[in-house]
Amino acid sequence: MHKTTGTKPLVSRRKPVPIDLGLQGGGAHGAFTWGVLDRLLDEPWLQFDGISGTSAGAMNAAVMASGYVHGGPEGAKAALATFWKSMSDAARFSPIQRGPLEMLTGKWTLENSPMYLATEMMSRIFSPYELNPLGTHPLRGILAETVDFACLADAPIKLFITATNVTTGAGRVFRNAEITPDVLLASGCLPTMFQAVEIDGEHYWDGGFIGNPTITPLVRECSSSDTIIVKINPIERPGVPKSARDILNRLNEVSFNSPLLKELRMIALLRKAADAGSVEGRKWAKMRIHRIATERVTELDSSSKLITEWPFLIALRDEGRRVTQRFLEEHGDDLGKRSTLDLDTYLETV
């Protein structure tokens, strides 16, 4: 394995390896994914075939693809940095801020923020239709400024953005030419915070209820056989939650992880079916699945998903770059050859 110090490209000359990416949602924690993408874009031998994204993952995907069209890897890196800096700048004057004690101790939480607590309580009593009757969204302007939606139809990277149909409960996957600011806002539309987003006469909520992210289109519509899943929501969290907020947070984590776990179990089952000569099984059996994640997200509470202070976002970005560097050092040679995620463990769950 060729290794280097720092975060310089690991291999200067290597046969190109096409990869797909599966990007989870998670609010401000999506800055971790920014760091992962920023580091992967440093490697010239990695070719990005398709990206499936949900919520913050959807926004990272669209921003990256748009920047890639206009400036290749460097353009994608610059676009991602601009998007997250714009997010931070827009929230500087928000009434929801960390308290003085948290600032002094360096804790990234809003648990003692009076406005956060008031907003959380109000969301359990009043709907977003009552609290925000005009349906304004703070991200709409930022997305319009940082993503060239017109260019996505011809982007070399295939995009798959998932949202949940409110009426049917089914998921819808939007592809390049269909992606608009409304599609991205729909993919990240938490029902207690925002009004459902209307697209083509249908209303949509967060795609995490259905796929976080959705893996199937990467297999069926992309030529790459390597998929890297960027995990934000921890699958395991030590201890039993006792407070009402911690219970709700863990419930959301379990709910938003469930679709992905089911898809991974399906892939494992189809790989077993390949041994029996199933055509569909053989197609899925070729897939090589990898995962990039960090245990540090378990140190953060759910309120931190709303923190967009620049030092916090930079810390998450740097953590994303760090774990991706480690992944490339340990598994870079496996890309294009074998899976590094043991799918058989998912067969042990029902």
User: Please, which residues bridge with residue 173 across strands?
Assistant: 162
Flag the least confident range among 96-105, 153-162, 253-262. 253-262
pLDDT at 204: 97
Tell me the C-alpha distance between 329 and 333, whole Å.
8
**What is the distance between the alpha carbons of residues 216 and 289, in angstroms, rounded to a whole number?**
12
Listing DSSP states for 247-298 in one string gives HHHHHHHHHHHHHHHHHHHHHHHHHHHHTTT-HHHHHHHT-EEEEE--GGGG
197 strand-pairing partners: 204
Per-residue confidence (pLDDT) for residue 1, from 0 to 100: 34
pLDDT of residue 36: 98
Q: Residue 10: name the closest of 338, 237, 325 by CA.
A: 325
105 vs 54, which has greater pLDDT?
54
Return mean pLDDT, the chain: 88
Which residue type does 333 have?
D
The DSSP string of 177-231 is GG--HHHHHHHT--TTTSPPEEETTEEEEEGGGT-TT--HHHHHH-S--EEEEE-
**Residue 214 pLDDT > 50, yes or no?**
yes
Q: For residues 18 and 47, is the Cβ–Cβ distance under 8 A?
A: yes
> In sequence order, which residues have a C-beta less than 8 Å from that of residue 123 and are 6 or more positions away?
131, 192, 193
Residue with tokens 């920047």: 67
8 A C-beta contact, residue 162 and residue 179: no
Residue 5: pLDDT band (50, 70, 90) is very low
Quote the pLDDT of residue 144.
94
Q: What percent of the chain has pLDDT over 90?
A: 59
- How many CB atoms sit inside 10 A of residue 168's CB? 9
Q: What are the residues whose beta carbons fall under 8 Å from the beta carbon of 174, sequence distance 6 or more?
A: 159, 160, 161, 162, 163, 183, 187
Q: What is the pLDDT of residue 310?
A: 96
At 49 the pLDDT is 97
Is residue 7 predicted with pLDDT exceeding 90? no
Cβ(247)–Cβ(38) below 8 Å = no
Average pLDDT over residues 279-300: 81
Which of 70-79, 239-248, 274-283 is predicted with the least confidence, judged by mean pLDDT? 274-283
Residue 4, pLDDT above cutoff 50: no
- Token readout for 81 is 């940095």
Count the Cβ atoms, other than its own, within 10 Å of residue 19.
24
Angle at 258 between CA 322 and CA 202, to 5 degrees: 105
